[in-house]
């Protein structure tokens, strides 16, 4: 019985020492970041405040994905940015999403995901809930500008994930 009491006391001491932190309090070196051949993933904090903010990353010195967004107010959220290429380099994909099963609590004013280094967007999707696409009238995929973006006056502000798939400028050829 004494060992149960000691275990309970130890557990209570551990629980009482837990410090709750917000994403801003977590140093960048402790945020998720992964790089491998054809894959790049990184957690980043969405910036809140006036004006358009931009976050972008490059993969293979060929493909760049840029996320531009505006969030007038709210609490900072940590999102994940993932760039990927097919094994044969025939396509590139980009995802910006809130990790985890919860929806974003933020109210976006606008968003735009731009693909640079591709000749065509095959697919683009915006999600209000993690697995439910936004209604088509709230966003558009512009195949000429290589963008997935909110529609001015139609977008209702709920966004939890963006995804786009593009075909590279130079086709990969086997030697």
Confidence of residue 129 (pLDDT cuts 50, 70, 90): confident
pLDDT single digits (tens) 14-29 = 333 333 334 445 555 6
Confidence of residue 104 (pLDDT cuts 50, 70, 90): confident
38, 58 in Cβ contact below 8 A? no
Q: For all residues of the chain together, what is the average pLDDT?
A: 84
**What is the pTM for the complete model shown?**
0.79
Instruction: Please tell me the predicted confidence (pLDDT) of residue 72.
Output: 95
**Which residue, among 104, 98, 121, 92, has the nearest Cα to 158 in the 3D structure?**
104
Lowest mean pLDDT among 9-18, 80-89, 95-104: 9-18
Confidence of residue 131 (pLDDT cuts 50, 70, 90): confident
CATH code for the part of the protein at 30-168: 2.60.220
Confidence of residue 99 (pLDDT cuts 50, 70, 90): confident
Q: What would the DSSP string read from start to end of 21-39?
A: --GGGS-GGGS-EEEETTE
The domain limits of the chain are 30-168
Q: Is the pLDDT of residue 63 over 90?
A: yes
71, 46 in Cβ contact below 8 A? yes
57, 117 in Cβ contact below 8 A? no
pLDDT single digits (tens) 137-165 = 999 999 999 999 999 999 999 999 999 99
- What is the spatial distance between Cα 59 and Cα 164, in angstroms, rounded to a whole number? 14
- Mean pLDDT calculated for residue range 39-62: 94
């Amino acid at each position: 019985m004494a060992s149960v009491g000691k275990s309970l006391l130890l557990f209570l001491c551990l629980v009482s020492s837990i410090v709750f932190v917000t994403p801003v309090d977590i140093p960048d070196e402790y945020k998720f970041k992964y790089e491998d051949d054809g894959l790049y993933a990184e957690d980043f904090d969405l910036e809140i405040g006036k004006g358009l903010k931009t976050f972008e990353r490059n993969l293979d010195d060929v493909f760049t994905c840029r996320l531009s967004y505006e969030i007038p107010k709210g609490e900072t959220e940590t999102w994940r940015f993932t760039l990927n290429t097919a094994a044969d380099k025939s396509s590139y994909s980009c995802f910006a999403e809130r990790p985890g099963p919860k929806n974003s609590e933020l109210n976006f004013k606008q968003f735009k995901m731009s693909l640079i280094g591709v000749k065509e967007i095959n697919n683009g999707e915006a999600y209000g809930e993690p697995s439910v696409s936004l209604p088509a009238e709230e966003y558009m995929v512009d195949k000429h500008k290589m963008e997935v973006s909110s529609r001015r006056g139609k977008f209702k502000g709920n966004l939890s994930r963006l995804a786009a798939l593009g075909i590279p400028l130079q086709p990969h050829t086997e030697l």
